[in-house]
Amino acid sequence: MKASNLPWRDVVFDAWLGHVALEHVKSAKPRVIYVGFGETDEWAHDGRYDLVLQAANRVDQFLGRLWSTVQAMPQYRDKTTLLFTTDHGRGSGPKLWRDHGEKIDGAEGVFLAVIGPDTAALGERVNCAAITQSQIATTLAALLGEDFRAMSPEAAPAMAEIAPSR
């Protein structure tokens, strides 16, 4: 049953999630944290492009606050990498932008943004080697100095431009 003040059954407002995530970073000082924002996806399904843009702007502001927070903490300063991606792409055009899935043209495309001390500032990459979501776990492990493929040999290799072999 959905809470009466939320428009969706399984998604909380990103502002709540962002606040909890920042407080967790400050207090628990985790080695890794995963934050899964959902408002842009839900507003798109609802056909509210205006609210998709507002939610995306708030996530962008959160990423700025997160980066400022980790740079202000000696434990993280100049030792932390943020990797930001989506769990899926979306269709395009006047109707398909609201949906995703294997039957929606364009939904296979996702984006990835990375900032950190070990990551070269390459800017927007459009004509580069194809990367897949299957490489994210291996890449994150490599950034932490771990070999994910030693544990899961079938895993895709790390993204070389983000986590070069060490």
For 95-144, what is each residue's pLDDT tens digit? Answer: 899 999 888 888 888 888 888 887 888 888 777 777 788 888 999 999 88
What Cα–Cα distance (Å) separates residue 114 from each residue in 10, 23, 117, 122, 151? 28, 22, 10, 10, 24
Which structure tokens are listed for 135? 């490489």
**Same structural domain, 67 and 86:** no
- Which band of pLDDT confidence, cut at 50, 70 and 90, is reported for residue 165? low
How many domains does one find in the chain?
2
The DSSP call for residue 87 is: S
What pTM value is reported for the model? 0.83
What Cα–Cα distance (Å) separates residue 39 from each residue in 20, 110, 120, 124, 146? 16, 17, 30, 24, 32
**Same structural domain, 130 and 75:** no
pLDDT at 113: 87
Q: Is 137:148 a contact under the CB 8 Å cutoff?
A: yes
**Domain interval for residue 119:** 81-166
**Same structural domain, 94 and 13:** no
**Same structural domain, 93 and 155:** yes
Q: Residue with structure tokens 């702007």?
A: 57
Reported as a single tens digit per residue, the pLDDT across 38-67 is: 999 999 999 999 999 999 999 999 999 999
- Which band of pLDDT confidence, cut at 50, 70 and 90, is reported for residue 1? very low
**Same structural domain, 89 and 28:** no
